[in-house]
Amino acid sequence: MKISILGCGRWGSFLSWYANKQGHEVLLWGRDASQNYEKLLQTRKNDYLDLPLSIQLTNNLDEAIALAELVFIAISAQELRSFAKQLNSMKIANKTFVLCMKGLEMSSGERLTRVFMEEIQQPVDVAIWVGPGHVQDFVQDIPNCMVIDSDNINITKLIVDNLGSETIRFYYGEDLLGNEIGAAAKNVIGIAAGMLDGLGYSSLKGALMSRGTKEIARLVKAMGGDEMTVYGLGHLGDYEATVFSKHSHNRRFGEAFVKNEPFEKLAEGAATVKALLQLSAQYDVELPICQAVNSVIWEAQDAREQLIKLFMRPVKFERI
């Protein structure tokens, strides 16, 4: 197929490398001023991979859109709305878009497929690509399992049929809402995990996994999704990469934050936690772990106190 990838950060450039490896005609787009783009243009490599010459590079969005049947988007979640507005000014009817990032709109709590479709007034299909996987592993052919989800099973299958391989084995998702919320929320659990690591309480990450899945499952259920989706690859299945891996941006951010160490920029989970608290209020669902992470990052509360309070509340029944 003809595939354009919009966004040439770590994940976008990997997607182009991977789609090319599966035999597709691939174009990778980056913003003109983007450092990632300039580096790829000059060296055709980044810290993770070398781009084969058969992958076209462009900073011309019109060209990238014109070529593609399938468009992967891998930009910052908070920039999706303005980017979608820009795409809507182009001729995109009947194309299929795959959102390859994990997040929620910070100001509204809105899911990314909703944000996207609110800005697109043309008939397009939209899907998401979520689940675990390190670029570092995939480029060495170390396999993993991921999920494609959309509201249209034919679109889901089209993407899986064209992109599945021995390296990435896809499952068909069947709960777009649950997978979007779950994939976004795992970044917040990742920050909490980093905070526990930073405070010397790594062994509480077991309880964090059990309690974290439970609160996100409650939210998904209240929103009309399937609570069991949270225990699938999109959320729990991504905990290895997010809660335990030294590569995880969100975990590392949480750890640096509680140790008062410098961090490059806010992790995506710092925006997502604000969105989740909007949803918590909207759907009247308590999210104690998200609340604690929010209070530490955004309200300058003491991390040790908040996290100990969280796990060491008075005795109670586990199911509540």
119 binds its own copies (CB under 8 A): no
Q: How far apart are CA 142 and CA 41, in angstroms?
A: 27
Contact letters (x/-) for its own copies, 184-223, by CB under 8 A? ----------------xxxxxxxxxxxx-xx---------
Instruction: Rank residues 52 and 206 by Cβ distance to its own copies and give the closer one.
Output: 206
233 binds its own copies (CB under 8 A): yes
313 binds its own copies (CB under 8 A): yes
Tokens matching residue 245: 């891996």
Helix (H) or strand (E) holding 163: helix 153-163
265 binds its own copies (CB under 8 A): no
How near is the Cβ of 138 to its own copies at its closest, in Å? 9
Q: How far apart are CA 178 and CA 25, in angstroms?
A: 32
Q: How far apart are CA 116 and CA 113, in angstroms?
A: 5
Instruction: Rank residues 109 and 182 by Cβ distance to its own copies and give the closer one.
Output: 182
Residues 32 and 8: beta-carbon distance below 8 Å: no
Q: CB neighbours of 152 closer than 8 A, spacing ≥ 6?
A: 125, 127
Residues 11 and 73: beta-carbon distance below 8 Å: no
How near is the Cβ of 106 to its own copies at its closest, in Å? 26
Instruction: Report the candidate in 297, 280, 171, 141 with the shortest Cα–Cα distance to residue 216.
Output: 280
Helix (H) or strand (E) holding 279: helix 268-283
134 binds its own copies (CB under 8 A): yes
Instruction: Rank residues 228 and 281 by Cβ distance to its own copies and give the closer one.
Output: 228
Tokens matching residue 98: 């795959």
DSSP conformational letter for 320: -
How near is the Cβ of 88 to its own copies at its closest, in Å? 32
Residues in 153-172 that interact with its own copies by CB under 8 A:
160, 164, 166, 169-172
Instruction: Rank residues 14 and 171 by Cβ distance to its own copies and give the closer one.
Output: 171
Residues 32 and 54: beta-carbon distance below 8 Å: no
Q: What angle do CA 194, 184, 120 make, to 5 degrees?
A: 150
Instruction: Rank residues 92 and 208 by Cβ distance to its own copies and give the closer one.
Output: 208
137 binds its own copies (CB under 8 A): yes
53 binds its own copies (CB under 8 A): no
Catalytic site positions: 186
> Which one among 90, 218, 221, 231 touches its own copies, defined by CB under 8 A?
231
Q: How far apart are CA 65 and CA 122, in angstroms?
A: 14
How near is the Cβ of 20 to its own copies at its closest, in Å? 21
> Which one among 109, 132, 190, 194 touches its own copies, defined by CB under 8 A?
132
Instruction: Rank residues 44 and 309 by Cβ distance to its own copies and give the closer one.
Output: 309
SS3 89: coil
Provide the binding-site residues for its own copies, judged by CB under 8 A: 132-134, 137, 142-145, 147, 160, 164, 166, 169-174, 200-211, 213-214, 226, 228, 231-233, 236-241, 244-245, 308, 311-313, 315-319
